[in-house]
Amino acid sequence: MNHQEMTSQIANGQGFIAALDQSGGSTPKALRAYGVADDEWDGDDAMFAKIHEMRSRVITAPSFGSGKVIGAILFEKTMDGDVEGKPTPEALKARGVVPFLKVDKGLEDEVDGVQMMKPNPDLGQLLEKGKSKGVFGTKMRSVINSANATGIAANVAQQFEVGQQILDHGLMPILEPEVSIGAPDRAEAEEIVLAEILKGLDALPEGSQVMLKLTIPVKPNLYKPLVDHPKTLSVVALSGGFTREDACEHLAENSGMIASFSRALLEELRAQMTDEQFDAALGEAINHIHRASIAG
């Protein structure tokens, strides 16, 4: 797929984006959920090798190439690895899946009810590496824990500031100011997020577009103005701690939003499964998430 074909596939949104981007801090938990105990690996290299085995198994499963998965977000080490002898981004494109790269370096401590992204002085180098490997876009996450207007404004502004740097490198940024589903005033926080994102979109240069990855809102279709905004290529939803059943139920109520699920996609997969069992479980999850993504 060339750049225009990838842009068109994401814009049309007839599927969902798989999030295969657990980083070092979240990888042990992901491996345990997959049925790989801590004593089955020793050291970071072995840990990342185990998670790459899982991701490779997902990417090469027959159901993953069904056309229902239109994109996938990768951790840097996954991007640098191979799948069936091909660089991972090229293996994805060969299956009709648009590759994205996680580029943030984790979260700062909470201030004003939010967690900003940590400084990322080497971002330019990472963007150039991703571009050279055929990546279409990027993803970066920050977190909002309460309806603090000052904190949310700073959080969203940081996303757009770094997003512009990514655009300047010729890549498509996915901005992800995640509102925690545990926030006691989540609905109010989401209203503030909406207003701040609209400000950011309106301030983008003419002809620019970004993607947005957002918590499924308490109020259905709250984010429809973002879906319809000319400077938005696509709005995708994170599962954010919901089970797949709950995440899909809520997502289906939001017109124009598609899924970008991680745990909710992979939660039924186990290392001990046969290839047939693995593909059946993955295929069931893909079908469920696909139906919710196109319901609107």
Q: Which residues are catalytic?
A: 176, 213
Q: What angle do CA 155, 143, 51 make, to 5 degrees?
A: 130
DSSP H or E run through 198: helix 186-203
Give the whole-angstrom CA distance, residue 71 versus residue 290. Answer: 12
DSSP string, 134-189: T--EEEEEEEE-S--HHHHHHHHHHHHHHHHHHHHTT-EEEEEEEEPTT-TTHHHH
Q: What angle do CA 21, 140, 132 make, to 5 degrees?
A: 75
DSSP string, 100-122: EEE----BPPPBTTEEPBPP-TT
Sign of CA dihedral 229, 230, 231, 237: positive
Query: Can you name the residues that pair with 100 across neighbouring β-strands?
Result: 73, 137
Structural contact between residues 37 and 43, judged by C-beta atoms closer than 8 angstroms:
no
